[in-house]
Chains A and B, each alone.
Chain A
Amino acid sequence: MVTYIIRRLIWAVVMLTIVSIATFAIFFLVPRLAGATSESLAARYVGRTASAEQVKIAAEKLGFNDPLVVQYGRFAKGIVAGADYDYGPGVEHCPAPCFGYSFLTRLPVWPDLLNRLPVTISLAIGAAVIWVIAGVATGVLSALKRGSLFDRAAMGVALAGVSLPIFFTGIVSLVVFSYGNPFRITAPGGSFTPFEENPAMWAYNLILPWITLAFLYAAGYARLTRAGMLETMNEDYIRTARAKGLNERAVVVKHGLRGALTPILTIFGLDLGLLLGGAVLTESTYSLPGMGKYAIDAILAQDLPKVMGVTLVAAFFVVFANLIVDLLYAVVDPRVRLG
């Protein structure tokens, strides 16, 4: 078990490194392929009014002239060991993990991320709760009442659900429930209230994004659960359970669902991991100040340090989720051997 965890941890680190290299390549290599020079990159740091040689100096100082490997090394070092930054009156140490400083705001990226994280977490967790309950419940019912009117209706809705682009449902929901609506059911994002500050407002601001996001996933999960249930309910051990004289509810829940849920657990872990990295579309649609919105804004403003930061954090969540899922899996399914 322990060795297994350690092996997985090492692998996780390797993955993150690869992702970071890829990210770095995309954002520092592609622009150069696209014709950007170290000067043009530095130009972003010194503002548009800087003179040619000011830019040169900056480029030198920021090390844009060094080979990419060196630059990556510096970047990586910043994350693990922190880095020093000249903010004007003096030089300041940016403690690890230091993702560097934003081109535009001149402020360190890491605090930004910490500041955005709660939003995304609230969004993801809230939605997850809704979609797991709704999705699994629907799926189980459909499976038990297979072919019934309910089943067909539910699956119809579910299929529609997975076929709707969230930025469409999002906008429609906003128009219907929020904008210029006499009874504004919710604030259309942009505004986020931390839970600890005011739970009511917190929920009020998130309810619409939650439902929209949850609907999308619930649809998928309903389909998955149904398929899983149909499979397990045909297993021999279900017949055994019935033969014991177990009542149908116990058979379904204790024996059927238990078996059907295991694969769903895996998918759930990964979905959640991806979401925590930033529900890009949802946050953009509702302009929620979360990781996803942060990523988009950073990308459009070509604020590379920000993008690097947010991408890595996102990747971290996915890798981390993978790890958790693997471990959990071993717990739920005794047949999985670790080591």
Chain B
Amino acid sequence: MSFLELKDLRIHFPTDDGLVKSVDGLSFTLERGKTLGIVGESGSGKSVTSLGILGLHKGGRARISGEIWLDGEELVGASLEHVRTLRGKKMAMIFQDPLSAMHPFYTVGDQIIEAYRIHNDVSKKVARKHAIDMLGRVGIPQPDRRVDSYPHEFSGGMRQRAMIAMALSCDPELLIADEPTTALDVTVQAQILDLMRDLQRDFNAALIIITHDLGVVAELSDDILVMYGGKCIEYGTSEDIFERPEHPYTWGLLGSMPRLDREPTERLMPIKGSPPSLINVPSGCAFHPRCVFEERTGGRAKAEVPELLETEGGHLVRCHLPRERRRAIWENEIKPNLEAS
């Protein structure tokens, strides 16, 4: 079986105002050395998914069901303690805002050393050396000096590199990057992404990149999973998603994506409206209130929840529009606009 496999994962949070279905029946697989990009607006449930995998979703209140298989181990049922031992060692995570994600009172070095010594019974000295190596590998100049600096003394990019160094310090087999570049400015983004690509190659880890920005995953990912309202609404290879996207929402994402490789077009096509409430999800297709093509489904969108169906070669789409209709719309209405320049 594959290295990481999610089967019908559901993470629900009961609150005063009702049940929040952050993740609602998500399934996917991921192999070593491969990269999966999970794309969606904030609140689409992508971050909760990642936290769910690490068992960091607010344990007490959350209701989690389904299965998470990591390298042949089932995690949902596993004891918290066991999952903890896997954290950092087998699976590590890179967080969005490195400034708030690192403890302000400890030096970067200390925090990496701590991470390393949790899983490796070595002396501080050894761990420190390791930390310096790691910092060096993520391209921080004079790591032997910077190792003793505090997070606030780093630049944003440096901080993210340090974060990565910390995440990789125990060379995990699964690395999850949650919005690794959103906090950074564009040029630095590129560097960090390159860095992650390289590192992943060296470590041969499975990588999940979570972002709201297709651009980020464009070059990096092998597969891409588009989430909306806690569900997967389109899944496919990077090529599928960029060349033959079939879901209106994906089209929207593509439309609102500034492409580094193309002339910036004035004709971005933002998605109208705002993400759905996770408490009372719109009836039928969660996206229908914002969908330009909703009326073309003849009312079905409002009525029934669409299935996630395979169109071809593992390319899955959750939409009521018939396949040909989708293809047609993409080819004739969306694509030209995107490429027009």
Contact = CB atoms under 8 A, between A and B. Distances in A.
Complex contact flag A–B (Cβ < 8 Å)? yes
Residue in A237, A245, A333 whose Cβ sees the most chain B Cβ within 10 Å: A245
What is the interface of chain A mostly: helix, strand, loop, or mixed?
helix
B104 interface: yes
B84 interface: yes
A246 B118 contact: yes
Contacts of A334: 104-105, 150, 152
19 contacts: A236-B95, A239-B101, A240-B103, A240-B166, A242-B84, A243-B93, A244-B87, A244-B92, A244-B114, A244-B115, A244-B166, A245-B115, A258-B105, A259-B105, A262-B105, A333-B104, A334-B104, A335-B104, A335-B150
Contacts of A244: 87-88, 92, 114-115, 118, 166
B167 to A, nearest CB: 8
A236 B56 contact: no
Contact of A243 (B54, B85, B97, B100): B54
Contact of B88 (A235, A245, A254, A335): A245
Contact of B87 (A237, A245, A254): A245
Contacts of A44: none
B103 A237 contact: yes
A237 B54 contact: no
B130 interface: no
Interface residues of B, number: 27
Contacts of A255: 103
Contacts of B54: 243
Interface string B110-128: 0000110011000000000
Interface residues of A, number: 21
B89 A245 contact: yes
B210 to A, nearest CB: 14
Contacts of A258: 103, 105
Given A239-B56, A240-B95, A334-B150, A247 B84 contact: yes
Nearest to A255: B103
B150 A236 contact: no
B89 A237 contact: no
A245 B115 CA distance: 8
Given A237-B101, A243-B93, A333-B104, 10 more contacts: A239-B101, A240-B166, A243-B87, A244-B88, A245-B118, A255-B103, A259-B104, A334-B104, A334-B150, A335-B104
A235 B167 CA distance: 18
Contacts of A333: 104-105
For the complex of A and B, 6 pairs with smallest distance between CB atoms: A245-B88, A245-B87, A236-B100, A244-B88, A244-B115, A237-B103
Given A244-B88, A245-B84, A237 B102 contact: yes
B100 A235 contact: yes
A240 B101 contact: yes
A328 B103 CA distance: 19
B108 to A, nearest CB: 11
B104 A245 contact: no
A240 B102 CA distance: 7
Contact of B97 (A236, A242, A247, A254): A236
A254 B54 CA distance: 21
Given A239-B95, A334-B152, A335-B152, A245 B86 contact: yes
A241 interface: yes
A332 interface: yes
Interface string B129-169: 00000000000000000000010100000000000001100
Nearest to B90: A245
Nearest to A251: B84
Nearest to A146: B60
A233 to B, nearest CB: 11
B312 to A, nearest CB: 37
Contact of A237 (B84, B88, B100): B100
B49 to A, nearest CB: 15
A241 B105 CA distance: 13
